[in-house]
A and B are shown apart, each in its own frame.
Chain A
Amino acid sequence: MEKALSVIEEMTCLGIIKAYAIGGGIAATYYIEPILTYDLDIFFIPVQEGLDELAPIYDFARKCGYVEEAEAIIIEGFPVQFIPAYNNLVREAVAEAITVKYRDIEVKLVRAEYLTAIALQTGRAKDRERALLLLESEAVDRDTLTRILKRHGLLNKLSKLKGKSHDK
């Protein structure tokens, strides 16, 4: 996996993307118990917002000989999904990412509080489950999470989730 991660780091150095952070199941797994996932989700800030934000990534991938499969690019055997930062919350999550080590490589990863907020905002069943696991873990700072949720108008989503989990 470190080869795939170093390719993503290289893309930042080459200016193909402005910034990135690992999100999704892999980022969640950094904080909680390992969960079954198949994609490496990469939130990124495009160099130029607006038009086809994925085009420079796909151009780079093709030049390197990486193939596309469904909505992912197979980089060194790993399906990588590049997701442009699609709203202010995700943009902030990328900007506030932490640096973590995987073997010999340092990579950017979304903070637990932002992962929880994104999961609450997305709101699918698996996202709600992930948010609950993150909340139950020791990784989420409640004050920081509350501030993020307030800023993005998501506090009610947390109350609803808590309500539902108490019902069970």
Chain B
Amino acid sequence: MINKSAERVFEKKRQRRRQLAKLPFEKKIEIIVELQRVAASIKNDKRHKVWPI
């Protein structure tokens, strides 16, 4: 059972995901690279490199 407040939060999250899903493909790839940069700044992982776009 989920109460109404929690359900509202989950619904907002779903809406946010849908908004992100509508971004152009090129923009999404830029976001992936940004995610890679953030991950690299936290953890020095030689196996995974940030894409050169």
Contact = CB atoms under 8 A, between A and B. Distances in A.
Interface of A: 1, 25-26, 29-38, 70, 76-79, 100-103, 133, 136-139
B47 interface: yes
B interface: dominant SS: helix
Contacts, number: 59
A29 B32 contact: yes
Contact of A102 (B25, B36, B39, B48): B25
Interface in B1-39: 14, 17-18, 20-21, 23, 25-26, 28-29, 31-32, 35-36, 39
Given A38-B36, A102-B25, A103-B26, A32 B17 contact: yes
A26 B29 CA distance: 8
A137 B52 CA distance: 29
A25 B32 CA distance: 10
| Closest CB pairs A-B (n = 9) | A33-B20, A34-B31, A77-B52, A34-B28, A36-B35, A38-B48, A33-B17, A32-B21, A34-B32
A31 B52 contact: no
* Residues of B in contact with A, size category: 20 to 34
Nearest to B20: A33
Contact of A34 (B18, B35, B39, B48): B35
Contacts of B39: 36
A70 B45 CA distance: 14
A45 to B, nearest CB: 24
